[in-house]
Amino acid sequence: MERDDLKIDLIAYLYGEMSTEERIRFEKEMEADPELKNEFLELKQVRKGLSTLEDKEVMEPFFLWGRNGVNGWSNPFKRRSLILFKPFIAVAASIVILMLVGYLTNFSITYQENQLFIGFNKPIVTHPANVLTADQIRSLVNRQIDENNLTILTRIVDTENKLDTRLTTLETKQEQQPNYLQVKNTVSDQNLQEYYNQLRQSNATLVENYLQDATVQQQEYFQTVMNQFTEYLQDQREEDLRLIRRSLVNLKEDQDQQQWQTQQMLAALLNNANNQNN
Amino acid sequence: MSETLRDIAINHSESLVEKSQKGDNHAFGKLVGLWFKRIYNVTFKYFGNHDLAMEVTQRTFIAVYDHLGSLKDIRSFKYWIYKIAINQCHEEDRRQKRKNWFSIFLHDEANKIEETHFNPEKDYQQKELEEVMNNLLKLLPEEQKTVIIMKEYEGLKFREIAETLGISENTAKSRLYYGLNGLKKMIDKSGLNLDRL
């Protein structure tokens, strides 16, 4: 279709947005123009196709705007964060739901003996053929203990035999060398006695020499000390005598001095008396 | 399109808008509750991807919260929020196209549509037809796709679409015409038979 006005009219007619007069006029035009009518029918079909698209039901995310108002909207960062983290929140919520469903349905996954078990509501039971009973386990344990005991007993018997053999060998060797041990013991006593006597004599000699030397040294020391003490006493005595002599001299000098003074005083008295008499 | 109680409430949400403008977070929460599904479905039809649709929807409401105070005529809230949603869709679309890996993904997905979903025997089932239509819608230019969504799924009048997108009514009709024609060509190419619907 080439005419723009016809296109516009066609759309207006298709969606019923024409006045009665315009609609009548356009319908007449369509009757006269089969191409226009054909196009109208085609577009009507397209509209029918579009009508298959129905509205989707959707809930507004409660974490963005709750029932009791809009929470945190005044904070731009919080709003952006909520949108950006939306996928993570969705994943987290899905995981929580899965965990909850799993818990409620006793969902369990186990892997044992190269087999993966996935089950609901009932505990997983492995194949009976693969399960050992308590009696079988007890029997296995007892058999193993018996085997161990037998092994240990065998080893003990072997060890006893070896010890017996070695003991017999040792006794035989001991019987073959009795004289040697006896002689060896006798010689040892004599030597010990001799060694003891020698040691005693040597000790006595040493003590005697030590005492003689000690006596000599002590006498010499005592003599030295006495000499030194005598010298000391002699010196002390001489010093005392010197002091006494000096004291006597001083005393003599004092006496002479006093005598001189007395004489002087007497002379003065005499002179005074003579002068008074004169 | 039958009008539900929710649709009626949506069309009369001025009081909630007014309270929200005065800082009533409780009212804004109710406003979000009312509009979330509508905005989500717009973005979902735009991208055909739940995660992207959720993200763009949340960004839309963040923008609404941030700029609600600047809305002078609360009666035009409906067009205003659609406008924000469409702008967010355009921004996200460009952001996605800038990513090389995603461009490759889109290319592969387009090929996948042509190679896989255009098998007539398979596509006659309702669910798959819905998927095919969604994927075809994604391949349209954004301005045509936007008008189709506004008109076909949101039921806006051409006057409202023009007001929302800031274009003339005739431009809106023209874009819708080319959009529907583009879809028709892709449907023909796919061998999809819509007569059996």
Percent of chain A with pLDDT over 90: 44
CB contact under 8 A, B54 and A58: yes
Residues B136 and B55 in one domain: no
CA Rg value for chain B? 18
Q: How many CB pairs under 8 A join A and B?
A: 117
Residues B124 and B61 in one domain: no
ipTM greater than cut 0.85: no
Least confident of A87-101, A264-278, B34-48: A87-101
Residues B124 and B189 in one domain: yes
Query: B74 in helix, strand or coil?
Result: helix
Percent of chain B with pLDDT over 90: 44
Q: How confident is the model at residue A11 (pLDDT cuts 50, 70, 90)?
A: very high
Residue A255 scores a pLDDT above 90: yes
The DSSP letter of residue A108 is E
Residues B72 and B106 in one domain: no
CB contact under 8 A, B44 and A56: yes
Residue B14 scores a pLDDT above 60: yes
Predicted pLDDT of residue A89: 73
* Chain A residues touching residue B33 (CB < 8 angstroms): 60, 65
Mean pLDDT on B53-59: 92
Residue A239 scores a pLDDT above 80: yes
- Segment B163-175, tens digit of pLDDT: 999 999 999 999 9
Quickly tell me which residue has 């040697």 as its tokens.
A180
Mean per-residue pLDDT over chain A, rounded: 82
Assign residue B162 the CATH number of its domain. 1.10.10.10
| E-strand stretches of A87-234 | 108-112, 115-119
Residue A274 scores a pLDDT above 50: yes
Residues B37 and B84 in one domain: yes
- The beta-carbon neighbor of B130 closest among A52, A61, A64 is A52
For chain B, what is the domain count?
A: 2
* Owning domain of residue B19: 1-98
Last residue of a domain, one of B75, B98, B121: B98
* Chain A residues touching residue B158 (CB < 8 angstroms): 12, 15, 17
Mean pLDDT on A142-162: 90
Residue B130 scores a pLDDT above 90: no
Mean pLDDT on B5-12: 69
CA Rg value for chain A? 73
Residues B56 and B84 in one domain: yes
Quickly tell me which residue has 């035989």 as its tokens.
A172
CB contact under 8 A, A79 and B62: yes
Residues B94 and B105 in one domain: no
The residue among A177 and B103 whose pLDDT is bigger is A177
Mean pLDDT on B76-83: 92
Residue B192 contacts residue B118 (beta carbons within 8 Å): yes
- Give the integer Cα–Cα distance in Å for A79 and A73: 6
* Chain B residues touching residue A11 (CB < 8 angstroms): 173-174, 176-177, 180
- Give the integer Cα–Cα distance in Å for B100 and A162: 89
Q: Which residues pair with A119 in a beta bridge?
A: A108
Q: B112 at the A interface (CB within 8 A)?
A: no
- Segment B150-160, tens digit of pLDDT: 999 998 999 99
- Segment A160-194, tens digit of pLDDT: 999 999 998 898 887 776 655 555 556 677 888 88
Mean pLDDT on B76-90: 93
Predicted pLDDT of residue A132: 73
- Segment A27-43, tens digit of pLDDT: 999 999 999 999 999 99
- The beta-carbon neighbor of A45 closest among B33, B37, B194 is B194
Mutate to test the interface with B, among A22, A39, A70 (most CBs of B within 10 A): A70
Residues B183 and B112 in one domain: yes
Alpha-carbon distance A63 to nearest alpha carbon in chain B (angstroms):
12
Residue A117 scores a pLDDT above 80: no
Residues B131 and B163 in one domain: yes
Residues B113 and B190 in one domain: yes
- Segment A46-101, tens digit of pLDDT: 998 888 888 888 877 655 554 444 555 555 555 655 555 566 677 888 888 988 88
Distance of CA A221 to the CA centre of its chain: 71
Which residues fall within 8 angstroms of residue B71, CB to CB, at 6 or more apart? B17, B21, B77, B80
Residues B184 and B171 in one domain: yes
Last residue of a domain, one of B56, B83, B98: B98
Residues B82 and B15 in one domain: yes
Last residue of a domain, one of B98, B129, B156: B98
Predicted pLDDT of residue B112: 46
Q: How confident is the model at residue B24 (pLDDT cuts 50, 70, 90)?
A: confident
Assign residue B54 the CATH number of its domain. 1.10.1740.10
